Amino acid sequence: MQHPWLQRLFRSLFALSLALPVSVHAQNGKPDGKPTKSLKPVTVERLLKGTEDSSGWLMYGGNYQNWRFSPLKDINRQNIKKLQVAWIFQTGIPGQLEAAPIIADGILYLTSSYSHLYALDAATGEPLWKYDHPLPDDLRICCGPTNRGVAIVDDKVFMATLDAHLVALDRKTGTVAWNTKMDDYTVGYSSTAAPLVIKDKVIIGIAGGEYGARGFIDAYDAKTGERKWRRYTIPAAGEKGVETWAGDSWKNGGGPAWVTGSYDAEQNILYWATGNASPDWNGDSREGDNLYTNSVLALDPDTGELKWHFQFTPHDVWDYDGNTGMFLVSVQRSGQEVKALAQPNRNGFLYVLDRTSGKYLHSAQYVDKLNWAKGLDENGKPKVDQQYVPMPGGNKEFICPGNVGGQNGAFTAAYSPVTKYIYVPVIESCGKMEKSTAIFIQGIPFWGGGPGAMQGDDQSSYGHLSAIDPTTGSIKWRYVDDYPLVGGTLATAGGLVFTGNQHGYAMAFDDTTGELLWQFQTGSTVRGQPVTYKIAGRQYVAVPSGAGGLVVSLVGENPLMTKGSTLVVFALPK
């Protein structure tokens, strides 16, 4: 008989992928629609400006520092209550809509589940063209068929796919320019992240850690699709770090890299986070710290050379996947300004590192419920409480946070250079994690256990949006919601923070006080990444709405919750 926790996990991770047949991908990857108007190239110089050019939103995090901040303030604290729907677009693909829309020259590019891409007029929502990537019938999908968005440079948009391809399309017509196979999907590889363009290269990470697939980060030539370098996240025999893996366990060590990285253009350093070791909940066969899982890797974007690393959760047996966004900020340290990297990790701690050297500076607990570690030592290494290590049959006590976080990398935080706060959507849910026998079979989930009973099963989970000062780690304000928050965030110079909740509301908060100033019912859980842009003198805020996967596992089969898949775009009345 299947364990109840396994039934819940399969329902959460796979039900959505089974509910919608792959045959929806008609057209054999050909675009459908009409060519757009003449567009100017998106140059590297434009990308470097990020959201300083407020007419668009050119990359997943808004800028290379991953702030998800806009200097726009036409929509502000004083007039937010007047915000209304400008237009909506329904993808027709029910389920997870987690993407950050990308906007350039009046065109909005939106991806949906199952590797679909749409080009829309950003002022009216009029469809211009679409691309449906053809997918095989036997995909290996861990956590839902999501896609988090595209990257853009020159005259191309780039999308990673569920069958581990990277596709470049002409951004005017949707015609395929090149289609490169990253790796073999049948061994467990897939890609759900939004790529990141740096100079002439498209950087993308791979998913598949739950299948024991060895993680990597790739760089491809933007013009040709030729692979320029690959950085494996797990060292091989003879390489530095392999000594942190017992025997040959590195071969199936996981270490996925499914969240878009950050880039320090001044120092020419790319930062990319890595995820859990495999098997997830049973570490007996992989004794050691298991580098470079649950880490941040500082890479040379030209060559992929590793400059430094920092590991958040050594020998992870809780599935505390380290894939959450990293913010390049400045913090005060002994009266001096330090170039830092800050990350609210899924394990419940906010980490602040020197982004030049990787030196651990300080940390803070940002979740209410944390018991797996008794804090961190002077080097940032967790002091693990052994009674909260997963056991056969499941632990007697709940382990906090649960395997979904904390902050989950699928749902972005934001940083405001005005307030100097990081705004973090948080899941407060613990789990009785269960360790079991781990047997590796290629292409089959390699878990060695499961999350067990989650506190969401007895309605004791909840969420909050917390404003955190990365210099001190102090929480400046907190908005508490009765369901875990699984929507991304956006901060603006108008004094606002946008996000959404599982009740289906898009929401806006005062960035200084945390007061809820506005909300709108979208009809489905908000779990996408809101963005803002300005066209013809009018500011727009785009909020993707669409549930599935994690939401079902945390709140159950709520009859009031529709799967949805709609982009709702707001503006002030003309």
> Is 554 part of any domain?
no
Confidence of residue 143 (pLDDT cuts 50, 70, 90): confident
pLDDT at 395: 87
Mean pLDDT of 109-128: 98
Segments forming the whole domain that contains residue 387: 4-535
pLDDT higher than 50, residue 12: no
pLDDT at 555: 56
Catalytic residue list: 319
pLDDT tens by residue, 246-292: 999 999 999 999 999 999 999 999 999 999 999 999 999 999 999 99
Confidence of residue 144 (pLDDT cuts 50, 70, 90): confident
> Is 571 part of any domain?
no
Q: What is the mean pLDDT of the chain?
A: 91
> Is 545 part of any domain?
no
Q: Give the count of domains, the chain.
A: 1
pLDDT at 2: 37
pLDDT higher than 80, residue 557: no
Residues 307-324: b if buried by 16+ CB within 10 A, e if exposed: bbbbbbbbbbbbbbbbbb
> Is 555 part of any domain?
no
**Cis ω for the linkage preceding 292 (within 30 of 0):** yes
pLDDT at 548: 65
Mean pLDDT of 414-420: 98
pLDDT tens by residue, 15-48: 333 333 333 333 444 455 554 556 889 999 999 9
3-state secondary structure 420-449: CEEEEEEEECCECCEECCCCCCCCCCCCCE
> Is 549 part of any domain?
no
Cα–Cα distance, 10 to 270 (Å, whole number): 35
> Is 227 part of any domain?
yes
CATH number of the domain to which 517 belongs: 2.140.10.10
pLDDT higher than 50, residue 160: yes
Closest to 182 measured CA to CA, from 109, 102, 257: 257
As a whole-number percent, the residues of the chain with pLDDT over 90 amount to 84
Structure letter (DSSP) for residue 370: -
The residues near 22 (Cβ < 8 Å, ≥ 6 apart) are 114, 135, 136, 137, 139
Cα–Cα distance, 410 to 146 (Å, whole number): 10
Closest to 104 measured CA to CA, from 173, 200, 176, 172: 172
pLDDT at 1: 33
Cα–Cα distance, 337 to 236 (Å, whole number): 38
Cα–Cα distance, 218 to 223 (Å, whole number): 15
Confidence of residue 94 (pLDDT cuts 50, 70, 90): confident
Cα–Cα distance, 8 to 455 (Å, whole number): 13
pLDDT at 550: 59
Q: Kind of pairing, strands 391-392 and 434-435?
A: parallel
pLDDT higher than 60, residue 353: yes
pLDDT at 409: 86
Structure letter (DSSP) for residue 573: -
511: its two tokens? 């960035």
> Is 547 part of any domain?
no
pLDDT at 81: 98
pLDDT higher than 80, residue 556: no
pLDDT tens by residue, 437-455: 999 999 999 999 999 887 6
> Is 563 part of any domain?
no
The position carrying tokens 């781990």 is 438
Among 17-26, 106-115, 135-144, 252-261, name the one with the lowest average pLDDT. 17-26
pLDDT tens by residue, 308-343: 999 999 999 999 999 999 999 999 998 999 999 999
Element (H, E) at 19: helix 4-19
pLDDT tens by residue, 492-532: 999 999 999 999 999 999 999 999 999 999 999 999 999 99
**Number of alpha carbons in the 13 Å side-chain half-sphere of residue 529:** 35
pLDDT at 34: 53
Confidence of residue 551 (pLDDT cuts 50, 70, 90): low
- Please tell me which residue, 363 or 409, carries the higher pLDDT value: 363
Closest to 140 measured CA to CA, from 92, 198, 82, 208: 208
Confidence of residue 107 (pLDDT cuts 50, 70, 90): very high
pLDDT tens by residue, 284-298: 999 999 999 999 999
- Please tell me which residue, 404 or 316, carries the higher pLDDT value: 316
Closest to 484 measured CA to CA, from 568, 414, 410, 415: 410
